[in-house]
Copies of this chain bind each other. A is one copy, B any other.
Amino acid sequence: MSLINIDRAILEAANLPIIELSYDRGETVYEQGALAQFVYAVDQGALYRFRLMPGERRSIFQFLFPGDGFGYETGRHHRDTVRALTNIKALAASRPALLLAAKSDARLSNLLFSAAASAALAADEKTDILRVKTATEQIAQFLLEMEVCLSKRGIIDLPMSRSQIADYFGVRIETVSRAINAFQREKIIQFRDREQRRIVIRDKRRLQKLASDASDFDYWSVLKIRTTANTETPPNRNETHGTSIRP
């Protein structure tokens, strides 16, 4: 799900000239501050949408895959940058022309309303994930979503770096690395061809469990033994302490 998912169907319903675009890996589709002249839909490949913050920080709002729309703004300027993770193809239509068409076309503006409403609810859901999930839970869920988006014959070829995943969740790159490698040590996932971005999910059930609640998973350490010195009954949130172990 995407921020205001203006997809191919909407662009065609608008009956506007559609431009087909290609970008190479690393190229920028638009930059924050630029005039918002077009709305886009991903046709092939993957992109990411981000913003640079004061202090060298980068916040990645979204990874974009085929079918996702992007670039719509309520104001006149883009407030984030979109850049290609792979070679991509995209469709574009003029934003002013789209809005003009919507003014007199109730069916089109209803499609736009519907897309925007879905986007608002999806973004609302995402706040809940960021609110309470631990880093490991988030990364487990991320891998499951990536499998849906881009798995081919069971193999996930991540187009993004660890650093980009980190900036997507607002955690550090080391945290992402440790979580993914802990999954691998636990044989929940596996790397293919010795490539760190080529992943196979081996135990989906367990990964799903981790995505919803990682409290019984020994995240970080392979060695550390948890002091099980405790406590009668934790009122909320059951915690099975003490299952560690791994060579």
List residues of chain A with CB under 8 Å of any chain B CB.
Answer: 3-4, 26-28, 30-31, 33-35, 51, 53, 55-59, 61, 72-74, 77, 79, 83, 102-107, 109-110, 112-114, 116-121, 123-124, 126-128, 130-132, 163, 169-170, 213, 234-237, 239, 241-247
A31 to B241, CA, bound (A): 11
- If over half of A's interface residues share one DSSP class (helix, strand or loop), that class is named, otherwise mixed; here it is mixed
Q: Which of B113, B121, B123, B235 contacts A113 (CB 8 A)?
A: B113
Q: A26-B241, A116-B119 are in contact. List 13 more A-B contacts (CB 8 A).
A: A3-B121, A4-B117, A27-B241, A28-B244, A51-B128, A56-B237, A58-B237, A74-B117, A74-B118, A77-B247, A103-B106, A109-B112, A112-B117
Q: Which residues of B contact A103 (CB under 8 A)?
A: 106-107, 110
Q: Which residues of B contact A58 (CB under 8 A)?
A: 237
A103 to B126, CA, bound (A): 29
Q: Which residue of B lies closest to A49 (CB)?
A: B124
Q: Which residues of B contact A77 (CB under 8 A)?
A: 247
**Nearest-Cβ distance from residue A230 to partner chain B, whole angstroms:** 13
Q: Which residues of B contact A109 (CB under 8 A)?
A: 102, 106, 109-110, 112-113
**Nearest-Cβ distance from residue A159 to partner chain B, whole angstroms:** 14
The reply to whether B169 and A131 contact each other, CB–CB distance below 8 Å, is: yes
Question: Knowing A74-B114, A106-B102 touch, does A34 contact B245 (C-beta < 8 A)?
Answer: yes
**Nearest-Cβ distance from residue A243 to partner chain B, whole angstroms:** 6
Q: Which residue of B lies closest to A234 (CB)?
A: B56
Q: Which residue of B lies closest to A58 (CB)?
A: B237
Q: Which of B55, B102, B105, B113 contacts A236 (CB 8 A)?
A: B55
A109 to B170, CA, bound (A): 36
The reply to whether A131 and B128 contact each other, CB–CB distance below 8 Å, is: no
**Nearest-Cβ distance from residue A114 to partner chain B, whole angstroms:** 7
By CB atoms of chain B within 10 A, which of A103, A106, A112, A244 has the most?
Answer: A106
Report the 7 A-B pairs with minimum CB-CB distance, sorted nearest first.
A131-B170, A28-B242, A123-B123, A116-B116, A26-B241, A109-B109, A119-B120
The reply to whether B74 and A30 contact each other, CB–CB distance below 8 Å, is: no
The reply to whether A33 and B237 contact each other, CB–CB distance below 8 Å, is: no
Q: Which residue of B lies closest to A245 (CB)?
A: B34
A247 to B116, CA, bound (A): 27
